[in-house]
Structure 1
């Protein structure tokens, strides 16, 4: 255990690290138009600025928890913090789009190493059960604030100091977070030598997801290359599934009876982030390139959609306890679908009131859906909350990476003649997907829920 005088600095450092991991998923969105003009990047290059971070984050989450168990969470979190901070400096100094994308990939690896360990160290070093509950609650609340904060903080920094300031932001925060983690005694984070890391499975997951995202982003410009990478991704996925069945220590080890309900929760969570981050990728460009808003105003304009997420967690928990997690998820999906339709109807016009109202409806649905579908994953495997949380987080980050790739590939560059029409079609498609999945959740609620 750590001493009382050092508990709060450690708690703030670990929660701050978690906040930065989630913040960097969205903080760069508002900076993309400036990045594009500064580094002469097209639509596919801008998509990679987002996805080069999301792909390793999604693919390494399952393995990083096991790495922390084996090597010690203190050591792994420190490695993640240093890697994330160094990569942030490289992002801020990047002279070309290629260097920026490579640095974002290193950031993603550091983020994946940090994320599971921040919660593990909080739990390990809490003085008692009451302190543990308070720390976990703070960790979740601070993480929940990252998504709405990203575009607003990014917009302010871009307008005040340019796009590079978005990446400089992380450097002092990481430096401050390192101090209390370094002060942790090594004996407080003992390793578990019996835990084995499935390095081969992790490598296959990274390679397969990278091939799939590359196929989607580059496919419109190089169809043959896209087909080749798509086939490679399918082959790697089959290899990964086969390897996971054979190994004694799979990345995700679940009881057979729980796999169906958890798979359903992960599919819904993945689709949710696919449409959310894909839609946010388009909206920040629509606000700036099509409607002429400043980066700061563009960031503020996303608040109606993002703010309900951290605010609705507690009320939704009570609703889910009364009517079930799957019915609650269905209601969130259907409300979000209505918001998607409203957004689609205003993309080519100037109706800010209708647009912001539609975004608020969309965000309210997401605020209902997010805690409900996470609870559905946890209830599917009540005896293995770590595995369920890892699977849910991996699905969400994978969905987000695919969403940015798909929406960017279909919409094309923001200055293209078909950008508005294709964006409208994407939001309509998102509404149709959410509505269909919502109906399926309602029809399957009796089979999937346990109470």
Structure 2
């Protein structure tokens, strides 16, 4: 019950993300949203989620993880209701921004509450695996539930689903979740604002570049703004007495490798979901339910990988599951690069399932490495850093996929370019893991991790 209580926020988020992918064609037809607008519908949520996650971790430390978790659920529910009522594409994007803000509050809080619930590292690794499996189960249900809801009640129904789930999560958190004492922490609002601005400018460049032209004044201006804001953030954080991410975490090599891996995993998985959804609907004429059924075995594969990984991490440490998962994901992506417009859908589904199984095997090991490095003192900050990197990866993956679909007219070339890029991302993760995460010794979860 504790695991379910602390996973319910991410359960909502995963159902929402996967269901939205099945509804893209219906949203486009109903609200008149073009391709770049669909990218904004997906990435608006990801943008605020990624930009505000570290702030969410700081708020959890300062005001109490349970309180912030419940507040995030309430905000996510409000955003969902506004999504369901949206009269236009612009209104839908604005409501998605609010959803992302709520998710940025409840995600690091849930990981911090899990960390406080268990002291033993091996038992904690199994808890993280169970938490990830619950989330993956939600991701498995999401596409089919989304497809059924869209075809039966319209695309707005996928957002109404979050209302009862969110309210249940708020009540269960009050009854079942621990309530660790808050402690003083500087919020660093200016730094968070600089980071949010840099990400927003980068998202504008990646999404609008293919539409307005890469050399157009708005795109070049946004690129300059992204670089300037990023530089200002780095300079401010370098000299800050209390940076938004504790300096102790920067010195832990496994932490850095695992955070990078999280970003690269989401570049691939979210880019793949976006491409496959539009490929099924565009090249094969699938409806929302057919798209959901195509995504179902892929997300189920990730859940199976999560469960298998929990025992492996507890027994062998994080390095082997990380290398196995990311290496397998790279091979699967290279196989998918051979697909084209006429490829039978079941072959692409099989390749995607293999890829999700592999990266799903890596995710609990990645999470355990990050949270072990953070320990109880920096649990919220470590969880926020991991999830911020993953959401940045999702933003880049969807925006990159949108750029490929907009600039390359043929499905065969689109798929080849997209999956070679995904394979490259996963291969980079393998290199980082091999260099920075040492083999476990004496049953340790990962050498270099700090308790």
CA deviations on 1:245-293 (whole Å, 9 max, x unpaired) are 2222211103277344322222222111111101111101111221122
Farther-moved stretch of structure 1 (229-238 vs 170-179): 170-179
Q: Hey, what does 2:46 align to over in structure 1?
A: 54
Q: CA, structure 1 residues 365+77, in 2 after alignment: closer, same or farther (shift >3 Å)?
A: closer
1:100 equivalent in alignment to 2:92: yes
Contact 1:334/1:438 (CA < 8 Å) preserved in 2? Answer: yes
Q: Hey, what does 2:443 align to over in structure 1?
A: none
1:209 equivalent in alignment to 2:206: no
1:198 equivalent in alignment to 2:195: no
1:263 to 240, 256, 281: 256
Structure 1 CA distance for aligned equivalents of residues 388 and 86 of structure 2: 28
TM-score, with length taken from structure 1? 0.86
2:360 to 347, 352, 367: 367
Structure 1 CA distance for aligned equivalents of residues 365 and 35 of structure 2: 34
Structure 2 CA distance for aligned equivalents of residues 118 and 439 of structure 1: 30
- Equivalences, count: 437
Farther-moved stretch of structure 1 (104-113 vs 72-81): 72-81
Contact 2:48/2:100 (CA < 8 Å) preserved in 1? Answer: yes
Structure 2 CA distance for aligned equivalents of residues 424 and 104 of structure 1: 31
Cα displacement (A) at 1:26: 2.6
Greater relative contact order: 1 or 2 (C-alpha under 8 angstroms, separation 6 or more)? 2
Structure 2 CA distance for aligned equivalents of residues 168 and 118 of structure 1: 23
Contact 1:379/1:450 (CA < 8 Å) preserved in 2? Answer: no
Q: CA, structure 1 residues 321+160, in 2 after alignment: closer, same or farther (shift >3 Å)?
A: same
Structure 1 CA distance for aligned equivalents of residues 370 and 118 of structure 2: 29
CA deviations on 1:229-253 (whole Å, 9 max, x unpaired) are 1221111111111111222221110
Q: Hey, what does 1:4 align to over in structure 2?
A: none
Contact 2:132/2:364 (CA < 8 Å) preserved in 1? Answer: no
Structure 1 CA distance for aligned equivalents of residues 115 and 62 of structure 2: 17
Structure 2 CA distance for aligned equivalents of residues 216 and 260 of structure 1: 30
SS of equivalent to 2:23: helix
Cα displacement (A) at 1:389: 2.6
Q: CA, structure 1 residues 368+141, in 2 after alignment: closer, same or farther (shift >3 Å)?
A: closer
Q: Hey, what does 1:398 align to over in structure 2?
A: 392
1:338 equivalent in alignment to 2:335: no
Gaps of 5+ in 1: 1-7
2:413 to 407, 421, 427: 421
Q: CA, structure 1 residues 397+154, in 2 after alignment: closer, same or farther (shift >3 Å)?
A: same
Q: Hey, what does 1:5 align to over in structure 2?
A: none
Q: Hey, what does 1:450 align to over in structure 2?
A: 447
Q: CA, structure 1 residues 445+113, in 2 after alignment: closer, same or farther (shift >3 Å)?
A: closer
Q: Hey, what does 1:274 align to over in structure 2?
A: 267
Farther-moved stretch of structure 1 (149-158 vs 311-320): 311-320
Structure 2 CA distance for aligned equivalents of residues 386 and 399 of structure 1: 20
Q: CA, structure 1 residues 254+26, in 2 after alignment: closer, same or farther (shift >3 Å)?
A: farther
Q: How does 1:42-441 map to 2 (within 5 A)?
A: 42-120=34-112, 139-181=131-173, 191-192=182-183, 194-222=184-212, 223=214, 224=216, 225-255=218-248, 258-320=251-313, 325-381=318-374, 384-412=378-406, 417-438=409-430, 441=433
Q: CA, structure 1 residues 45+110, in 2 after alignment: closer, same or farther (shift >3 Å)?
A: same
Q: Hey, what does 1:27 align to over in structure 2?
A: 19
Q: CA, structure 1 residues 377+37, in 2 after alignment: closer, same or farther (shift >3 Å)?
A: same
CA deviations on 1:352-384 (whole Å, 9 max, x unpaired) are 343232122212221222223333434555574
Structure 2 CA distance for aligned equivalents of residues 387 and 82 of structure 1: 22
Contact 1:15/1:138 (CA < 8 Å) preserved in 2? Answer: no
TM-score, with length taken from structure 2? 0.86
CA RMSD of superposed structures (Å): 3.2
Structure 2 CA distance for aligned equivalents of residues 140 and 265 of structure 1: 16
Q: CA, structure 1 residues 87+261, in 2 after alignment: closer, same or farther (shift >3 Å)?
A: same
